[in-house]
Chains A and B, each alone.
Chain A
Amino acid sequence: MNSSNPRLDWATVWANLPSFGEAALTDLYIAGMGFVLACVVGLVIAAMRSNHSGAVRSPAYVYTQILRGVPLYVLILWLYFGLSSAAGIDLSPVTATVIAIGLAASATTAEIFRAAFAAVDPGQIEAARAMGLRRSQIYTHVLLPIASRVAIPPLGNVVILQVKSATYAAVIAVPGMVYLAQDISMTQFRPFEAYATVAVLLVAIVIALSLLVLALERTLKVP
């Protein structure tokens, strides 16, 4: 192997293609779990922020301001190394990344949920109440169907954001796409080909997800 050879040689990448597939699945798993966590935390924060009591609202505000300020890289290292050194909490690298990207996106999802519920016409809820629906029925039959239509396009963007955020997992040695590329570029001296492969895979995943969200939007559209 000659590191100063400027010609492209894709044989290394080609030989590692199955590993790239596996690594991409690891990234997607992290992104998926991170998305679920962001939705759960986001719902809680959205509920807290719409609470009547200031004592419930202000912790949610402080939480949002903190999460808005801390870079993802810092958050990942804080969770993985910081919690371990101070409290002896040893998270696995995958868990630490999932929690970090989940919390990092939770401020965004909270805002999405808030806007979606605000978009429901109060008349619809009054009508449902007048017809004798219970609170839980109003939730499942009126509020959620209407709000989800508003929330799905921006939530699709959050899924894509999580795919990009999941690439940061390499900083704590999670064997995702970036980690594999780093390995190939160091052992096979093919940094350009290795990182270009990650870039192509990322673009492909993001385009596929965008099309999926678009299809979902069309299906849910009011005729």
Chain B
Amino acid sequence: MNGTLTTSGWVDVLQTLPVMLAGLKYTAVISVTSMLASLVIGLLVTAMRLSSHASLRVLAFAYVQLFRAFSTYVYILFIYFGLAAFFKINMPPVEAAILALSLLNSAYVSEIYRSAIVNTDHGLHEAAVCTGLTRGQAFMHATLPQAARIALPSLVNQFVVVLRDSSIVGVIGVADIMFVASKAASVRYLQFEYYTAVACVYVLLVFAISKVGDYFERKLAPP
């Protein structure tokens, strides 16, 4: 079989495709949950980062620097094998993957929030305060709408990163599309066909998400 590409190989991939695509439900659950969690944790970290207490600022800075040094692969292994063994907790792989991706990406999300807030026109905030709004109201009505517009493209991009990074969860036994494909591929010695199919699925997914992101970016653009 070595060195040959046969039609039967691709037929085989097509026959397994439904099972592979079923694995996408893990990809969806893990990447969407992790993204939502990092949006919330990121908000917390950003609030600390922009706080008036120096100790909170330092803590948030350290958090961001720490998590930006790990790859998803290393962090998932650390949580699933390292922490689980140390605390003797039996964490299911899906939960471990969500925990790892959420913490890791919250560091990047908080940087996106921070740079969006820093890049807003502070004059609008001051003007809002001058017209009698409280600082909280000024943030909600003057700073946040601008910041959201700036942050959205980067957040969509970050979701793409989470989606791609989630493909590694097979190493801790989550039966996602890549896991299913790898198994089928090694049994039949059709690695090229199966991995090409997985790559195509990811390219299509990412392309679709980028297009949706572009659409919202246009909708939110100032007139």
Chain A interfacial positions (CB closer than 8 Å to B): 3-4, 6, 8, 65-66, 68-75, 77-78, 81-88, 160, 164-165, 167-168, 170-171, 178, 181-182, 185, 189, 191-192, 194-196, 198-199, 202-203, 205-207
Contacts and interface: CB of A to CB of B under 8 A. Distances in A.
B65 A170 contact: no
Contact of A69 (B182, B192, B202): B202
B78 to A, nearest CB: 4
B69 A207 contact: yes
A194 B2 CA distance: 38
A93 to B, nearest CB: 14
9 contacts: A3-B85, A71-B165, A74-B195, A77-B191, A81-B185, A82-B192, A86-B4, A171-B73, A195-B81
B-side binding surface: helix, strand, loop or mixed?
A: helix
B149 interface: no
B68 interface: yes
Contact of A168 (B3, B68, B73, B199): B73
Contact of B78 (A8, A196, A203): A196
A206 B86 CA distance: 26
B92 interface: no
Interface in B53-99: 65-66, 68-71, 73-75, 77-78, 81-83, 85-88
A127 to B, nearest CB: 32
Given A167-B74, A196-B82, 12 more contacts: A4-B88, A69-B203, A70-B164, A71-B167, A74-B167, A85-B192, A86-B3, A88-B3, A168-B73, A185-B81, A189-B85, A202-B71
B129 to A, nearest CB: 34
Contacts of A196: 78, 82
Contacts of A68: 160, 203, 206, 210
- Rank and list the top 10 A-B pairs by shortest CB-CB distance, nearest first: A86-B192, A69-B203, A69-B206, A81-B191, A195-B82, A71-B167, A82-B192, A192-B86, A206-B69, A164-B71
A207 B64 CA distance: 12
Nearest to B199: A70
Given A82-B191, A82-B192, A171-B171, A191 B71 contact: no
A54 to B, nearest CB: 20
Given A3-B85, A192-B85, A202 B171 contact: no
A160 B82 CA distance: 24
